[in-house]
Structure 1
């Protein structure tokens, strides 16, 4: 669960920071324009954004984003977004100083509060009745708080609910609905048009970074599991037959306890990937989904592996199609004859990924301790 929690914390932090930026943009533009029809503008803008990115961009939420950007300095927003989710931010909006935001966020972490319990703490003015908050390291106000994951941990449950939930998926997942995100300018003012386009650009940047990062994190996590198993076996100086026997028994246990990500079939493949050099693996881990990496791990020629990795990324090959091209010997038919520079294409193939196409992602995130 520690890996999933770390993954969710970083993605959650990026999403909350995205909302702060959007709120800041709306405040700057609307204040500059001095528009008296702010409510109507936000309603019109929201109708477009919710169609593309879901209910996180409802009229109510956009207003909350604006208030968030006004009441919470960017530094404080970055600090608290790394440890609590958006559902807590909405309860903190009644506070008027960074010290109070930090104080109540610490209380949430220390007491594992739900958003409703947080609201109650604020209502009884806990901050005013407590000793002044003195932080030894004000730049890292939560470094001393250890969150112990458990099935009853409200923070972890909130993270997991967010990242697997429909609303979160709508904002994170690039898909066909988003390809032609051009607002209908016929009924929009210049201000509305500009705000929509600026928000779209912020969301697209969020999607690009998070999908690439999440994809890499899942891949690296699986490989690290295989590496740890491999290292323990090497310490014990086991024979190959003994290693296979232990892997089979581990798989039987893990499959029963954790499910599909650690089935016998998959665990044997994870162990196989662990035998690949770290440098070679890192070069392809951000380009491909885990199922593609499992296929490529059986190739011994580094150039051949990079060739198929690049084409899979740039052409968005499915795992099935990748297998077919390897079987047909595409690399030996085309690349070797033309002396194609494989390394030269890697940089240009860093396209936006869709983490939800990684069939191991949901299974990995759903693993219970």
Structure 2
């Protein structure tokens, strides 16, 4: 897909804990500076070594943003708007993931030498983000909160979640992991297959596929903010399951329309899974462990997305596209079914649904009537 790499995973191990211990800004601002450095290296790269370094730095920057950055957005929302802040953080992530490839595809389509213009646009956006992050009054997490572990010690430790919140984060992973794995595979397979089926070779095919997928992920999140987390997560697993069915039809029938449907549904599955997971973290995990919990959620999603995509790539080389893609879809469909079953029977999200502010307000309205 785009972000599953050792540099990203290593950063997730470190960045969340650091952001919870030292504050969001001391982690987020260096992360944005790293992103700016990577952008400049991409613009001026004259060798593969420079490109590898730039790609490594990009993974580091992404790891910082999805851990410390998302936690900072929820912190800014305050205790009364955590659900809305979680929605804003999740929508920003997937919308950027969709608009970036589309913009790059448009520039590549219209420009003979697109590298510098593409990364010049990114440079401007990153500079704006750096200024905003510097000026925002991001509160530092309280060092002491009831029933939580103080983040202490030195050295490299795997990120963890407070014991009372472990099941909640695990349920987020149960939906988010199949969803992001589906988008990873559809993005790696879809553009080339779609180009073959349509008989068209254009950078807009890849950019358009990613854009459609992540714009869908954005739209579905904006459509469900008042639903309880359990409903959002179950919808995520259902969308992922339907995406895999459409993918099997597309690959075995060499059909373009089911492939587009698979991309749309995969985007919906990832977007809903990400929103549900971030909502549970934002509303339940204490602020001085929130960035670390974000790291756990993302590690739980990115690891299977990366591992499965690589393994299925080798399998497709050995047995062919149709059989390999069908096996992948079957594995992911089973994972989505298992995740949906786990979520639907979990007391953690059931309790969250009972106390969801939207449902409570409607219940109060019925009582008044």
TM-score band by shorter chain is under 0.3
TM-score (norm 1): 0.26
Structure number with higher helix proportion:
2
Task: Name the structure, 1 or 2, with higher relative contact order (CA <8 Å, separation 6+).
Answer: 2
TM-score computed with the length of structure 2 as normaliser: 0.26
